[in-house]
Amino acid sequence: MRIPSLALVFSTLALASAAYAEEGMWTFNDFPAQKTKAAYGFEPTPAWLDHVRLSSVRLARGCSGSFVSASGLVLTNHHCVRECLDQLSTAKDDFVTRGFSAKAGPDERQCPAMEINQLLEISDVTARLSKVTSGLADKAQNDARKAEIARIEKECATSDQLRCDVVTLFNGGRYDLYKYRRYQDVRLAFAPEAAIAHFGGDPDNFNFPRFCLDMALVRVYDGGKPAVTPEHLSFASTSPKAGDLTFTSGHPGTTRRLKTISELEYLRDVDLPATISRYAELRGMLTEFGERGKEQRRISLADLLGVENALKGLTGRHQALVDKRFFATKQSEEKTFRAKLEADAAKRAAVVPAFAAIETSMTKLAELRAELNGKEGHRGFGSRSLAAAVSLVRWASEKDKPNAERLPEYGDAKVPALKAQVLAKAPVYPELEIAELTFGLTKLREALGPGDPFVKKVLGQASPRQKATELIRGTKLRELSDRTRLFDGGQKAIDSSKDPLILLAKAIDADGRAVRKKYEDEIEAVVKKNSEVLAKARFETLGAGTYPDATFTLRLSYGTVKGFPHRGQAVEPITTVAGLFDRATGAEPFELPGSWIRAKSKVSPETPMNVATTNDIIGGNSGSPLIDRNGALIGLVFDGNIYSLGGDFGFDPELNRTVAVESAAILQALKNVYEARRLVAEIEGAAAGS
C-alpha cells in the first residue's frame, strides 16, 4: 500500500508523487471524490456513483462487465465467455473459431454455467461483528465472527435472486455486507472470431500497442424474458484523447500490496525465478510436442496457452520487482511505516517484531520450497490422471471426518469443485499425459535429488520417462466410470484398487501430508498471524483514507489516457484500425478473419482500436467498462501492459497501464464487419436515451 502523504518526505519520490493520485482500487462507499476534484476538476456525485455501480456487473466465475441497454444486454470480454462458446460448440459449429451472432432474440443461446451479479447495496457491519467478538479469546472470537457473518448473510439473502457476502477489508479492519441481484439465466448474443478477439496471440499478450476486439455481448434474462435494466451505460459519442480522465468500474481479484519487503524478496529472488524457469522449460516441451503432428498440436494447445499466459504473468511480476525504482518505493513505504511504529512505544513492542517473524519465515520457506512443491504441491506431477488419483485417495480418507477437521479442499463447500476436477468429462490423452508426467518426474528428481528417499519411492529404479510410460499405460483412471466408482466407493474401493496411479498416490500420501503440516504450522501460521498484526496496525495508523487490497468486489479506479516509456522509447496510448491491418501478416497469430478482410473498405482506418490508460486494475477487471466523466462508456478493459502485472505488489504510475478496446471500434465492428443491426440499434437506442 502506498502512503501518498508521506511519500513527499523522500526526495527521490517527489517527482512521482503527482502521478500517485491515480493509484487505488476504491470501494464505492469510500471513493475519494475530492481527489479527482483537485486533480481533474471533476467530483463524482452520489448519483453518478450509484449509476455507475448499478450499471456494472460481475461474472461470478471471474470477470467484470456492464449493462449497455435497458433490456439486460451486457458487454464483457470474449475471453470471459470463451468457456460458454466452447460448451455451445459442436464438431460442426465451432463458435470459438467462427464467432457467434444471434440474429433475433430467440437465437440467443443460454450459457450453461454463467451467473451475473449486480451490486445493489453496501452496508458497514463492522460494529455488529465487533459486538459479538469483543472480550473473547482468539479461537472463540473467530468462531463467533463466523457464526455472526453466516447470520448476517442469511438475513440479507431473502430470495434466490439475491446474493449476500460479508467482505473482509483491510485484513479485518472493516467488514462490509455486499448485496447483489443475481442473474442465473445468461444468454450469448454476440462474439467475434477468436482470431480478432485475441489478435496477436501470445506475442502481443500483455503488450502494447495492441489491436484486439476482445469483446462479447451476453444478456441477462428474468423469467424467460430479457431483464429490465434501467441502469446501464450508453456509448460515448466521442473518442477519448490523451490526457482524458477515465474510470474503470470492475472487480479486481486479488492484490498483495501489503506484503513486506522480505516477502517480496522471496518472490523476486526465489519463487518467481524458479517458477519462471520451470514454466519456460514446459513451454519449450509443449511447443515441440505439438510438432509431433496435427492431433498432438490440438490436444496440447490448451495446456500450452495456459503455460504461456502464466509465464507472461510471472515474468511481468518479476520485472516489476527487479525494477530498482519500483522496489525502492516499496522499501521506502515500509521504512516510513516502520518508523511510525517505532515512534509509538506500544506498537514498537507489539507490532515491530512482526517484520522479523515474517522474514525468518521467508528464509524457512526458501529452504522448504523444493520439498513442499515436490511432495505436496505437485498436482500429480503434471498428470491429470495422477492428480485425480491423489484426490481420490484423499477424499476416501477425508470424507468421513467432521467437516471442520478435513483438509480445506475436501470440506463440504468444496465438494462441487472437487467433483469438477476428479470427475471431469474432458478427454485425457495418454500421449500428452506421458510427456507431461515425464517432465514433472524429471523436475521432481532435479528438485530433491536422485538420492532422496521420496524420489526413490516414486521412481524406483526407473527413469522418469520409463516410470511415466509405465504408469499412464497401466492406469484405467482415464475412464470416467472408474473415477466415479472410486469416488463413490470410499476407503474400501481405494483399498482394493490395483490401479498403479492409486497405488502411487497411496504410497506418497503421508509424505505430502507431513511436509504440508510442517509448512502450515511453522511458516504459514506465523506469516498469517504477523501479517494480520501489521495490517491492523496499518489501518489504525492510516484509517480509511486509503483503499483495501483487491477482494473480487466492485471497485472504482480513476486515471487518464496515457502512453508509457518502454526500453527507452515512448509508446503512444491509442492504436487505430489502420494499425490493425498493418500488423496483419496472414500468419497465425497475426491472421485476420475473413470478415475483417472483406469489410476492410467499410471500416474507417482512423477508428481508434485499443487504448492505454493509467487506471489501477488487476486480473478480475477483465470486461470492466472504461467510463468518461459523463458516465458514458468509452472502452472495454481486456488487459494490461506487461508492467501492469507488477500491480499485484504496488501501482507504478510511470509504467502500469490498463488496456481497453475503444467503444468506437466495438460499434464499427458490430455495424460494418458483423452487420449485427439489431444489437447496434439496441446499443445506440441506449445511447440516445441516456
Residues that bind its own copies (CB under 8 A): 200, 203-204, 207, 209, 265, 268-270, 273, 276-278, 280-289, 291-292, 315, 318, 322, 324, 363, 367-368, 370-371, 435, 439, 445-446, 449-451, 459-463, 466, 567-568, 583, 585-588, 590
Report, in Å, the least distance between residue 205 CB and its own copies: 10
Q: Where do we find the cell 455472526?
A: 148
| Cβ partners under 8 Å of residue 598, min gap 6 | none
For residue 38, the tally of other CB atoms under 10 A from its CB is 11
Report, in Å, the least distance between residue 71 CB and its own copies: 40
Report, in Å, the least distance between residue 281 CB and its own copies: 4
Sign of the dihedral defined by the CA atoms of residues 487, 493, 498, 500, in that order: positive
- Our CB check for its own copies shows the closer of 445 and 657 to be 445
- Our CB check for its own copies shows the closer of 199 and 638 to be 199
Upper half-sphere CA count for residue 631 (Cβ side, 13 Å): 22
- Rounded Cα gap, residues 111 and 109, in angstroms: 6
- Our CB check for its own copies shows the closer of 468 and 554 to be 468
- The identity of residue 640, as a single letter, is G
- Our CB check for its own copies shows the closer of 398 and 470 to be 470
- Our CB check for its own copies shows the closer of 57 and 459 to be 459
Upper half-sphere CA count for residue 529 (Cβ side, 13 Å): 15
DSSP bridge partners of 498:
none
Report, in Å, the least distance between residue 298 CB and its own copies: 16
Where helices occur in 123-236 by DSSP H, the ranges are: 126-133, 138-156, 194-197, 201-204
- Our CB check for its own copies shows the closer of 120 and 370 to be 370
| Cβ partners under 8 Å of residue 65, min gap 6 | 56, 57, 58, 59, 74, 75, 76, 80, 116, 218, 623, 624, 625
Report, in Å, the least distance between residue 524 CB and its own copies: 17
Distances (CA, A) of 400 to 54, 114, 404, 410, 552: 44, 32, 11, 11, 33
- Our CB check for its own copies shows the closer of 228 and 301 to be 301
- CA 345 vs. chain centroid, Å, equals 40
- Our CB check for its own copies shows the closer of 221 and 454 to be 454
SS3 613: strand
| Cβ partners under 8 Å of residue 657, min gap 6 | 208, 562, 564, 573, 612, 613, 614, 640, 641, 643, 644
Q: What is the DSSP string of 352-382?
A: THHHHHHHHHHHHHHHHHHHHHHHTTTTGGG
Upper half-sphere CA count for residue 411 (Cβ side, 13 Å): 7
DSSP bridge partners of 637:
660
Burial 107-136 (b: 16+ CB within 10 A, else e): ebbebeebbbbbbeebeebbebbeeeeeee
- Our CB check for its own copies shows the closer of 291 and 400 to be 291
Report, in Å, the least distance between residue 13 CB and its own copies: 18
Distances (CA, A) of 677 to 340, 423, 608: 61, 42, 21
- Our CB check for its own copies shows the closer of 209 and 635 to be 209
Name the grid cell of 357: 517473524
Report, in Å, the least distance between residue 194 CB and its own copies: 17
- Rounded Cα gap, residues 406 and 421, in angstroms: 18
- Our CB check for its own copies shows the closer of 435 and 618 to be 435
- Our CB check for its own copies shows the closer of 237 and 363 to be 363
Report, in Å, the least distance between residue 316 CB and its own copies: 13
Report, in Å, the least distance between residue 443 CB and its own copies: 11
- Our CB check for its own copies shows the closer of 341 and 468 to be 468
- Rounded Cα gap, residues 431 and 286, in angstroms: 12
Percent helix, percent strand, percent coil in the chain, to nearest 5: 55, 15, 30
- Our CB check for its own copies shows the closer of 132 and 280 to be 280
Our CA angle for 358, 360, 364, nearest 5°, is 110
- Our CB check for its own copies shows the closer of 284 and 689 to be 284
Report, in Å, the least distance between residue 606 CB and its own copies: 18
Report, in Å, the least distance between residue 506 CB and its own copies: 23
- Our CB check for its own copies shows the closer of 88 and 459 to be 459
Instruction: Give the DSSP H/E element, type plus range, for residue 275.
Output: helix 272-289
DSSP bridge partners of 179:
121, 164
Report, in Å, the least distance between residue 442 CB and its own copies: 8
Name the grid cell of 316: 511481468
Report, in Å, the least distance between residue 290 CB and its own copies: 9
Report, in Å, the least distance between residue 267 CB and its own copies: 11
Q: Where do we find the cell 502464466?
A: 310
SS3 81: coil
- Our CB check for its own copies shows the closer of 6 and 322 to be 322
Report, in Å, the least distance between residue 435 CB and its own copies: 7
Report, in Å, the least distance between residue 523 CB and its own copies: 13
Q: What is the DSSP string of 128-145?
A: HHHHHHTT--HHHHHHHH
Report, in Å, the least distance between residue 198 CB and its own copies: 14
Phi/psi-derived region of residue 69, left when phi > 0, alpha when psi is between -120 and 50, beta in every other case: beta
